[in-house]
Amino acid sequence: MKIYDRPGFPNAARIRIVLAEKGLDAAVEYVPVDLIAAEHKQEAFLKLNPSGVIPVLELDDGTFISEATAISEYIDNLDGNPTLTGASPKEKAIVHMMQRRAEAFVLDPVGIFFHHGTPGLGAALQAYKSPEWNGREEWALRNRATAMSGFAYFDEVLARSSFLAGDRFSIADITLYAGLLFGDVAGVQPANGLEHLAQWRGRVAELPSVKGRSGQNLLPEDLRRLGF
């Protein structure tokens, strides 16, 4: 198998944590994609994934699977023992509900703020992000507010359970964790007093599949190149 990604970026980090959880992180070949040069928006990459985003999983039979959730689902079920995406119908439903909320409430709005409210990844990629749009700043700030509300929502969820979908670590937790790391870079961080969220983050950061793999320093090399 091959993974087309960029180390340390949030969606790439999600898949690398899943691979580590399943003991498969050494079983794939990683193919780097230059996001700053907008390689993922060019014809060659779009043949792999017409959505123009990373990561993309290439199977040995030539099948390409994109979208982080779909890739996670595939990897988690390879051994017939899903531990991250739910085993029973109820578990699956709750995991995927919370996973989507982690994207919609935190990861996606942080990404929008990053690309529209900061210099983002530079000029080459900004050409694909509507740089001249008059409502860009307002849209960025609105999504920052969405993420801040999302942090508060998940703090309430974590006051009632150890992890987002109950007592078991899942892809929902991985997505929210990636969103928090991305928020650190984008300047979108939880307000003070969200103790349950902070405690959860500390626990997740110490998990073997997370520590030293997803990056305690999200995007360090690329953002240093851009002056962050």
Q: What are phi and psi of 65, to 5 degrees?
A: -120, 125
Is the domain 2-77 a CATH 3.40.50.300 member?
A: no
Strands of the sheet containing 2-5, edge to edge, are 29-32, 2-5, 56-58, 64-66
Confirm if 83 and 165 have CB atoms less than 8 A apart.
Answer: no
Confidence of residue 190 (pLDDT cuts 50, 70, 90): very high
Tokens of 226: 């851009």
End-to-end CA distance of the chain: 33
Question: Is a pLDDT exceeding 60 seen at residue 215?
Answer: no
Q: Which CATH topology does 89-216 take?
A: Glutathione S-transferase Yfyf (Class Pi); Chain A, domain 2 (1.20.1050)
Mean pLDDT over residues 24-48, rounded?
93
Supply the pLDDT for residue 99.
97
Query: Global pTM?
Result: 0.91
Averaged confidence pLDDT in the chain: 90
Confirm if 125 and 34 have CB atoms less than 8 A apart.
Answer: no
Supply the pLDDT for residue 228.
47
Supply the pLDDT for residue 218.
47
Which tens digit of pLDDT belongs to each residue from 113-153?
988 888 777 767 666 666 566 677 888 999 999 999 999 99
Q: How far apart are CA 84 and CA 74, in angstroms?
A: 11
Q: CA-CA-CA-CA torsion for 69, 75, 81, 87, nearest 10 degrees?
A: 10
Supply the pLDDT for residue 129.
66
Q: How far apart are CA 225 and CA 123, in angstroms?
A: 13
Supply the pLDDT for residue 128.
67
Supply the pLDDT for residue 168.
95
The residue ranges of every structural domain in the chain are 2-77, 89-216
Q: Print the SS3 string covering 173-218.
A: HHHHHHHHHHHHHHCCCCCCCCHHHHHHHHHHHCCCCCCCCCCCCC
Percent of the chain residues past pLDDT 90, beyond the cut = 75
Mean pLDDT over residues 21-28, rounded?
92
Supply the pLDDT for residue 198.
98
Confirm if 69 and 99 have CB atoms less than 8 A apart.
Answer: yes
Supply the pLDDT for residue 121.
75
Supply the pLDDT for residue 57.
98
Percent of the chain residues past pLDDT 70, beyond the cut = 88
Which tens digit of pLDDT belongs to each residue from 151-182?
999 999 999 999 999 999 999 999 999 999 99
Q: How far apart are CA 45 and CA 52, in angstroms?
A: 7
